[in-house]
Amino acid sequence: MAQIDFGGTMEEVTTSEEFSLQKAREVLEPETVAVLGYGVQGPGQALNLRDNGIRVIVGQRENSPSWDRAVADGFVPGKTLFPLEEAARKGTIVQYLLSDAGQAAMWPKVRECLNPGDALCFSHGFSIVYKGQTGIVAPKEVDVILVAPKGSGRTVRTNFLDGSGINSSYAVNQDFTGRAIERTLALGIAIGSGYLFPTTFQKEVYSDLTGERGVLMGCLAGVMEAQYNLLRKHGHSPSEAFNETVEELTQSLIRLVAENGMDWMFSNCSTTAQRGALDWSPRFRDAVAPLFDELYDNVVSGKETRRVIEANSAPDYREKLQRELDLIHNSEMWRTGAAVRSLRPENRGK
């Protein structure tokens, strides 16, 4: 492990140079990794494991779109693709990658499939931390571990394919075998992590739920919509409003932030942009701080997870979700976005 200075705080991280893929293969050589769920995280992690030479099988509900997707990706029914419970019985490391609501619903059956010495692996601390709501309490005779990529399942795969990898956090909640940490790091490297940083199940889920609802998705979407609507209200065209709100951010400025940080991005913009950003950034920070306090309190109290479980367990969940997504898709802002994207040089003529 390497000691890295993160803004004055020393942290230990594990890189793919320190814990090599070859070492990961040696650790996982006697294991069968069963990836349960082929929806969001499942495909990226399963395909990366397979491409890295790890023995991996997929568990998925038969006659479902995700089952068909796994078949299309080369997993073979009866050989590397099985119904959920059968895959769980065959695996020595069970990657529990169903949705959070799905994990709670399937847990009584999956629990019965675990054998002493198996490892139960999560990519999110939700089910273990909020066990009072999910009912998921692991047997004492298994390792309970976490490898949580800091990105979508799609990015886990695309970053692997382009060689960049993705950062992941990791944690051990229960070490029955004495090999839990080694298994965890090996899995983290084998799914394509660039580097791994330690956390706990609790800290992972608190930060993850806050991030999703905050800067990463909820706050970002809300702030974009507010600025777009403001510009439209004052007579700016849809194209101008969208370019000034989304396109310049995603196609230019955020790339500068990714390369060298916000300070570097500020120093590479016009002096007018610098002055305005430096003046207004603290005002936006202070304006949203109370919302973030409320959000974090809701996460810690379990209010957010109750909302997730109740909404996602409803029989008409997918229909309601689609209606909400359609409202975004059909809004002027994102219809404009589709038109703007079609005009990018790489997309013209498609």
Residue 165 included in any domain: yes
Q: Please indicate, yes or no, whether residues 138 and 260 belong to a single structural domain of this protein.
A: no
Measured CA to CA, the distance from residue 191 to residue 95 in angstroms comes to 11
Q: How far apart are CA 58 and CA 270, in angstroms?
A: 51
- Tell me which of 124, 234, 236, 329 is the catalytic residue: 124
- List, for residues 74-116, the tens digit of each pLDDT value: 999 999 999 999 999 999 999 999 988 889 999 999 999 999 9
Instruction: Report whether 94 contacts 34 (CB < 8 A).
Output: yes
Number of domains in the chain: 2
What mean pLDDT comes out for the span 183-188? 97
- Which structure tokens are listed for 306? 């109750």
Query: What pTM was estimated for this model as a whole?
Result: 0.90
Range of weakest confidence among 26-35, 45-54, 262-271: 262-271
For range 238-242, the mean pLDDT: 96
Tally of CA atoms within 13 A in the half-sphere of 201 that contains its CB: 15
User: Are residues 219 and 165 both part of a single domain?
Assistant: no
Last residue of a domain, one of 172, 199, 226: 199
Q: Which domain holds residue 288?
A: 211-342
239 with 159, same domain: the answer is no
Average pLDDT over residues 185-212: 94
Residue 76, in any domain of the structure: yes
Residue 160 · residue 48 · CB < 8 Å: yes
- pLDDT one-digit tens code per residue, 113-144: 999 999 999 999 999 999 999 999 999 999 99
Identify whether residues 174 and 236 lie together within a single domain: no
pLDDT of residue 8: 80
In this prediction, residue 350 has a pLDDT band, given cuts at 50, 70 and 90, of low
Sheet of 93-96, strands arranged across: 2-6, 9-15, 193-198, 166-174, 143-149, 119-122, 93-96, 33-36, 56-59, 81-82
127, 155 Cβ separation under 8 angstroms = no
* pLDDT for the residue 170: 96
Whether residue 336 contacts residue 241, with contact meaning beta carbons closer than 8 Å, is answered with yes
Same domain, 190 and 336: no
289 pLDDT more than 70: yes
Does residue 271 lie in a domain region? Answer: yes
234 classed as catalytic: no
